[in-house]
Amino acid sequence: MDEFRDTAGEPVGADIDTWVRSFTRKESDSSELPPHHPNCLGCGPENPNGHFLSVRRDGDGVIAHHHFDQRHVGAPGIAHGGAVATVMDDLFGFLLYSVGELAVTRRLELDYLTPVLLDNPYILRAAVRSREGRKLHLTSTMEDAGGRSVITATALFIVVEVEHFLKSQKNPRT
């Protein structure tokens, strides 16, 4: 059975069949959605360098309460823009549990409206705006506790088959 392997060839979690099945459509409820992978940089519980993003369904979209910490610092007291982009990208990835298909980021665009402060609580929301064939047009926001929008983001995800991931396993450095 195919397993995910790191660049040293060691298994890193569930086999691919199990992983693919985890993205099939689930009943709509408000329960927490599973991480993409135990070591996912955005949401994996076993990645000590990750963001530990925790995401729930919210109507047709998803919602997360999140804060950045000192590991994500850019300018003093402010989250690095790349760290923020990582989290928004990962948040989009949780919409796939509703889409029920595999997809990957082709384009990611963020507007940084105000600085994202470390150790400050934020509310993140994402939704599917539209779909054209394999193209998923996604939209998201990050708001502070006062409801002020600090980040808006859009993404284009492209639906792929499991072979997309199998190919990368065979050539992990390409």
Ligand X SMILES: CCCCCCCCCC(=O)SCCNC(=O)CCNC(=O)[C@H](O)C(C)(C)COP(=O)(O)OP(=O)(O)OC[C@H]1O[C@@H](n2cnc3c(N)ncnc32)[C@H](O)[C@@H]1OP(=O)(O)O
Check: CB of residue 15 under 8 Å from CB of residue 2. yes
Q: Cβ 28 to ligand X, closest distance in Å?
A: 19
Q: Cβ 77 to ligand X, closest distance in Å?
A: 27
Cα 120 off chain centre by = 20
Which parts of 61-120 interact with ligand X (CB under 6 A)?
A: 89-90, 93, 96, 102, 104-107
CB closer to ligand X, 89 vs 151: 89
- Neighbouring CB atoms inside 10 A of 154's CB total 17
Distance of alpha carbon 150 from alpha carbon 154, whole angstroms: 14
Q: Cβ 37 to ligand X, closest distance in Å?
A: 7
DSSP letters for 100-113: TS-EEEEEEEEEE-
Q: Cβ 22 to ligand X, closest distance in Å?
A: 9
Which parts of 119-138 interact with ligand X (CB under 6 A)?
A: 133-135
Give the Å distances, CA to CA, from 173 to 2, 80, 155: 18, 26, 25
Q: Residue of minimal CB distance from ligand X?
A: 93
Which alpha helices (H) appear in the chain, and where do they start and end? 16-21, 81-93, 96-99, 163-170
Q: Cβ 118 to ligand X, closest distance in Å?
A: 23
Rule CB under 6 A: is residue 12 a binding residue for ligand X? no
What would the x/- binding string for ligand X be over residues 13 to 52, using CB under 6 A?
----------x------------x----------------
Rule CB under 6 A: is residue 156 a binding residue for ligand X? yes
All residues at 6 or more sequence positions from 157 whose CB lies less than 8 Å from its CB, including other chains = 92, 95, 96, 103, 104, 105, 106, 135, 136, 138
Q: Which stretch binds ligand X (CB under 6 A): 3-11, 48-56, 77-85, 157-165?
A: 157-165
Chain residues that interact with ligand X, rule: CB under 6 A: 23, 36, 89-90, 93, 96, 102, 104-107, 133-135, 156, 158, 160, 164
